[in-house]
Copies of this chain bind each other. A is one copy, B any other.
Amino acid sequence: MDVYRLLYPMRTYIVVAGRGDETNVMAADWVTVLSHEPTLIGVAISPKRFTWELVKRYREFVVSVPSVEMLDDVWVAGTKHGPGKLRETSFELVPSGSIETPSIGNALANLECRVVDERDYGDHTFFVGEVIGFSYSKKAFPSGKPHLGAGFLAHLSWMDFVTFSNKIYRPGKGR
């Protein structure tokens, strides 16, 4: 079995890299937060991806948060190669506030990152970005907290995706 699958389901995000006609999008599950102050996040990208070349070249990327309604677009981003695939999606590229790499206007949120470190780990490169700008949907994050009705997307396995149920669990209830 693929041992890493024991950590699944994992959230699925979109990584945007490049600029102009070269702008590319990629689906990525291997994303995490690394530091609160400053806010640093990391994403593991395979050198086989064109996005890898673009992040290397421009030293910046955007992590966008798709909803389950955008699954078809996420799938195109995850399975096709090169910037041409953007025309097959309904991702709306818009200028970012702090970097040249565009954000996805119809995503739930965008984290604009400048690369501050990179390390090769096995078959992927881990790019660490400082979040120097961001945008988000007030509906998806009212008062800065995720609203489950937004339909946050997670990857179960291969073609199977899921979202969260609306029930909220709090510690202490069972004691």
Contact = CB atoms under 8 A, between A and B. Distances in A.
A44 B111 CA distance: 19
A175 interface: yes
Contacts of A9: 11, 146, 148, 152, 164
Nearest to A151: B169
Give how many copies assemble into the complex.
2
Given A121-B128, A164-B163, A175-B72, A36 B2 contact: yes
A129 B7 CA distance: 14
A99 B103 CA distance: 43
A168 B161 contact: yes
Interface stretch (A15-23, A25-33, A52-60): A25-33
A11 B4 contact: no
Interface of A: 1-11, 13, 29-42, 44, 63, 65, 68, 71-72, 74-75, 108-109, 111, 117, 119, 121-124, 126, 128, 131, 134, 136, 141, 144-146, 148, 152, 154, 156-157, 159-172, 174-175
5 contacts: A37-B123, A72-B174, A146-B156, A162-B165, A163-B165
